[in-house]
Amino acid sequence: MGPEDLAKILKNLPSQQREEILVGLETPDDAAVYQLDEHTALVHTVDFFTPIVDDPYTFGQIAATNALSDIYAMGGRPLTAMNILCYPCKLGTEVAVEILKGGNDKVKEAGAMVVGGHTVEDEEPKFGLAVTGIVDPGLILIAGGARPGDVLLLTKPLGTGVMATALKAEFIGEDEMAETIRGMTTLNRVASELALELKASACTDVTGFGLLGHLLNMVSHHLTCILRVSDIPFYPGVREMASQGMLPAGARNNRLYYEKNVIYPDDLDALTIDLLWDPQTSGGLLIALPPESEERALKFLKAKNPCGGYLIGYFTERRSAPIEISI
Ligand code: CO
Ligand code: CO
């Protein structure tokens, strides 16, 4: 669902305040946090979607990696997961088995366990998981904690929406998006460990609202984030596919809803602007850190994170807009 429709729905829900709910509906974070005692809080999240690749095992892996991501974005450790599978039974049971195996393997890699699930017969397959994790209430990472002077790191390249659109339109085969698939099946675990170890001031993951949409959740009213567009990484083939018109509808929705908050340089090309709004599946983490941690963070990510680490901007006191883009 686009950001505008979602905002309309959420604003009509009654607000629920309770002391134990450390992160709930009022904040832009995608996971909820419920405090059990002084040292333990539960982290809850759910995510599912239609296939974005043809191979069912790979789809299962991507869906699980994506569902686990919101636990990592909060600094949590996943414990248990429940499958959500909507499925046309005419596809036969083997395909469903492959999807669930892919999901199960990623949950296992995360050190968690699939402990149940629910199926619904449906015209189009959909798969994902509800994941429960734990976090130390004193160490929760939230989207809105960045401070002036912090640097901004991104832990995966962008462009999964463009590549999935190109695959669907049969402009490319799955082998031509191997790097993108590798990225979408890479857990955000290492990135989350880094954010915890270096005491990140803010963290979120990049998913459906694109880089700029999710970044806006990190930019509180007294801050501006300056992005250096030449430092923003894209998966191989993304620019070429976008130039051939393979931009998903979600990118347009994101741009329409959020663009008033962004200032572009005059000479920024239209293609790059589009790409900054591309909705991501299983995207990386955006991490805000004090500048003195920058070098250590990049070294850590380059050594341990399969998708690397990228310094893409920094935060300052508020200028004329929440996000300003420089070349
Ligand atoms: Co998220
Ligand atoms: Co989500």
Q: What is the DSSP string of 120-143?
A: EE-SS-EEEEEEEEEE-GGG---T
- Token pair for residue 198? 């270096």
**Residue 68 CA to ligand 1 centre (angstroms):** 9
- Model pLDDT for residues 46-93, shown as the tens digit of each residue: 999 999 999 999 999 999 999 999 999 999 999 999 999 999 999 999
| Distance (Å) from CA 75 to ligand 1 centroid | 12
Q: How far is the CA of 276 from the centre of ligand 1 (A)?
A: 17
Share of the chain above pLDDT 90, in %: 91
E strand segments, 175-317? 202-205, 223-228, 262-263, 285-289, 310-317
Residue 168 CB neighbour total at 10 angstroms: 15
Contact 75, 196 (CB under 8 A): yes
Q: CA 185, CA 95: separation in Å to the nearest integer?
A: 19
Q: Say how many Å lie between the CA of residue 284 and the centre of ligand 2.
A: 12
Cα–Cα distances (Å) from 303 to 190, 299, 307, in that order, read 10, 6, 10
Q: Where are the domains of the chain?
A: 14-139, 151-326
Residue 25 CA, ligand 2 centroid: distance in Å: 13
Give the pLDDT of residue 29: 77
- 59, 127 Cβ separation under 8 angstroms: yes
Q: How far is the CA of 91 from the centre of ligand 1 (A)?
A: 31
Structure tokens at 257: 């809803």
Compute the Cα dihedral for 306, 307, 313, 317 and give only its sign: negative
Q: Which residue has the tokens 């832009």?
A: 28
pLDDT value for 59: 98
Strand 262-263 versus strand 323-326 pairing type: parallel
Average pLDDT over residues 30-40: 94
Work out the pLDDT band at 23, boundaries 50, 70, 90: confident
Q: How far apart are CA 302 and CA 310, in angstroms?
A: 9
> Over the stretch 218-264, which tens digit does the pLDDT of each residue have?
999 999 999 999 999 999 999 999 999 999 999 999 999 999 999 99
Q: For residues 223 and 149, is the Cβ–Cβ distance under 8 A?
A: no
Looking at residue 270, the DSSP 8-state letter turns out to be H
pLDDT over threshold 90, residue 28: no
E-state strands within the chain: 21-23, 32-35, 41-49, 77-87, 113-121, 126-135, 151-154, 202-205, 223-228, 262-263, 285-289, 310-317, 323-326
The alpha carbon of 283 and the centre of ligand 1 are apart by a number of angstroms equal to 9
* CATH number corresponding to 14-139: 3.30.1330.10
Longest dimension (CA), the chain: 57
Task: Compute the distance from residue 205 Cα to the ligand 2 centre, in Å.
Answer: 9
Task: Provide the 3-class DSSP secondary structure of residue 109.
Answer: helix
Q: State the distance from the centre of ligand 2 to the C-alpha of 47, rounded, in angstroms.
A: 5
Cα(84) to ligand 1 centroid in Å equals 18
Number of residues assigned to the chain: 327
Q: Are 248 and 162 in contact (CB under 8 A)?
A: yes
What separation in Å is there between the alpha carbon of 207 and the centre of ligand 2? 7
CA of 36: how far to CAs of 20, 39, 135, 136, in Å?
Answer: 7, 8, 10, 10
- pLDDT category at 10 given cuts 50, 70, 90 is confident
Q: How many Cβ atoms are within 10 Å of 228's Cβ, its own excluded?
A: 14
The CA-to-CA distance between both ends of the chain, in Å, stands at 31
Of 307, 268, 278, the C-alpha closest to 214 is 278
Ligand 2 center to residue 265 CA distance, Å?
31
| CA 134 – ligand 2 centroid, Å | 17
| 110's tokens | 């995360």
Radius of gyration of the chain (CA): 19
Say yes or no to pLDDT of 290 above 90: yes
Nearest bound ligand to CA 46? 2
Residue 203: pLDDT band (50, 70, 90) is very high
**How many angstroms does the Cα of residue 49 sit away from the middle of ligand 1?**
14
Closest ligand by atom to 45 CA: 2
Q: How confident is the model at residue 125 (pLDDT cuts 50, 70, 90)?
A: very high
pLDDT band at 305, cuts 50/70/90? very high
The CATH code belonging to domain 151-326 is: 3.90.650.10
- Cβ contact 281:210 at 8 Å: no
